[in-house]
Amino acid sequence: MKAKETLHTRLYNFNPGPAALPLSVLEEVKHTTVEYGGRGISLMEMSHRSKPVEALVHTAEQQLLEQMELASGYRALFMGGGASMQFAMLPLNLLTKGAAADYILSGSFSEKAEQEARYIGQTRIAASTKASNWQQVPDVRDISIPADSAYVHITTNNTIEGSRFNAFPRTGDVPLIADMTSDLLSRRIDYRQFDMIYAGAQKNIGPAGITAVIIREELLARCSQQIPLIWRYETYASNDSLYNTPPVHTLYVLERMLQWTKQQGGIDQIEERNRAKAALLYAMIDGSDGFYKGMIDAEHRSDMNVTWRLPSEELERQFVLEAEQRGFIGLAGHRSVGGLRASVYNAVPVAACEALADFMREFMNKH
């Protein structure tokens, strides 16, 4: 009943990013959009040097680190520019002259990260599954990395292809850096094995316009001093992300979303639910006698982005069309790979996946 009720006003949102936000967070933000915390004005109209904004940044940083179990030894910084800006900002800070950085390629976002770094310095491809069309992720458990590498970069969940890593490389003293834009806080990972993690907020932790950079304090000290202040991680750290004006209202929604994540029971509960959601769709695909075909090898499938094909492109278009008429949006695959993709980030309810699985069965029987 509940799912039907929401359908009249809220669609089943499988958008890849910007993506679904929890309805309770949107409702809460609706009120504070006009007036925040008894101050007579909204956050959008408030100085970023005011106490409420300072408190907000502080809470968001603590919340994020706490949920990642990184309460000591790390900083969480917030900045604009999206995850794509980190593709360039990372090498600016850490790819020093004469050194090389190692990139693990597992999908198109990881390629973009490597391509941007080439403008700054030398890169190497440590592993890649491009030749098999990204159908798996590289096996990186026993990867060997030169001891003088500037860092190793990995994309833990491949949003466009629908794959993910379940094991991560051991890099010794070489910093391990991860783009976790599409799986941060969606599953239990030992975040401590990474020296820096970044994520555009618009998939799992908030709206577009803000990016979280979680960085080991020791690594901050090693960042370049030869680049403009605005590009240095150290600048964001020493100014508590308020060196210049951050997108304050966006940060607020992110902070509310972190509260929501905590209220769900934290990562373990969220992960269990995410697994169940994805399993509903994969079971439908695998049980369809080849009508639906998963794009990724079973053991590398993502719980965040479920990708599959139909027998023809014509039927794929038909699927998207009929789905839209039934209130399911965001299901067309990325233009670079085609097919179908359901992005089922933390805020997508189980009921939406149940409804989609039902629709998939119906569509299959009809065609």
Give least dist CB 297 to ligand PLP, A: 19
Q: Which stretch binds ligand PLP (CB under 6 A): 20-28, 176-184, 223-231, 273-281?
A: 176-184
Q: Rule CB under 6 A: which of 28-67 touch ligand PLP?
A: none
Residue 293, judged by CB atoms within 10 A of its CB (0-12, 13-18, 19+), counts as: middle
Give least dist CB 84 to ligand PLP, A: 3
**CA–CA dist 28, 24 (Å, integer):** 6
Query: To 5 degrees, how large is the angle CA 253–CA 254–CA 255?
Result: 90
| Sheet-wide strand order for 305-309 | 293-294, 305-309, 340-343
**Interacting residue with ligand PLP among 182, 186, 235, 343 (CB under 6 A):** 182
**CA–CA dist 305, 308 (Å, integer):** 10
In the complex with ligand PLP, which residue's Cβ is closer, 18 or 37? Answer: 18
Judged by DSSP in three states, 63 sits in: helix
Q: Which stretch binds ligand PLP (CB under 6 A): 26-34, 78-86, 213-221, 354-362?
A: 78-86
Q: Which residues pair with 197 in a beta bridge?
A: 178, 214
163 binds ligand PLP (CB under 6 A): no
**Interacting residue with ligand PLP among 161, 179, 271, 316 (CB under 6 A):** 179
307 binds ligand PLP (CB under 6 A): no
**Interacting residue with ligand PLP among 17, 138, 246, 327 (CB under 6 A):** 17
Q: Rule CB under 6 A: which of 98-127 touch ligand PLP?
A: 109
Question: Is 20 within any annotated ligand binding site?
Answer: no
7: part of which helix (H) or strand (E)?
Answer: helix 2-9
In the complex with ligand PLP, which residue's Cβ is closer, 48 or 203? Answer: 203
Question: Is 211 within any annotated ligand binding site?
Answer: no
Give least dist CB 19 to ligand PLP, A: 9
Question: Is 83 within any annotated ligand binding site?
Answer: yes
83 binds ligand PLP (CB under 6 A): yes
200 binds ligand PLP (CB under 6 A): yes
> Concatenated DSSP letters for 324-348?
HHTTEES-BPPTTT-SEEEE--TTS
**CA–CA dist 233, 223 (Å, integer):** 7
181: part of which helix (H) or strand (E)?
Answer: none
- Burial code of 68-90, b = ≥16 C-beta within 10 A, e = fewer? bebeeebbbbbbeebbbbbbbbb
Do residues 320 and 333 touch, judged by C-beta distance below 8 A?
Answer: no
Q: List the binding residues for pyridoxal 5'-phosphate.
A: 83-84, 109, 159, 179, 202, 244-245
Known binding residues for L-glutamate are 49
Q: Which residues are annotated as a binding site?
A: 49, 83-84, 109, 159, 179, 202, 244-245
Site of interaction with ligand PLP (CB under 6 A)? 17, 82-84, 109, 155, 159, 179, 181-182, 200, 203
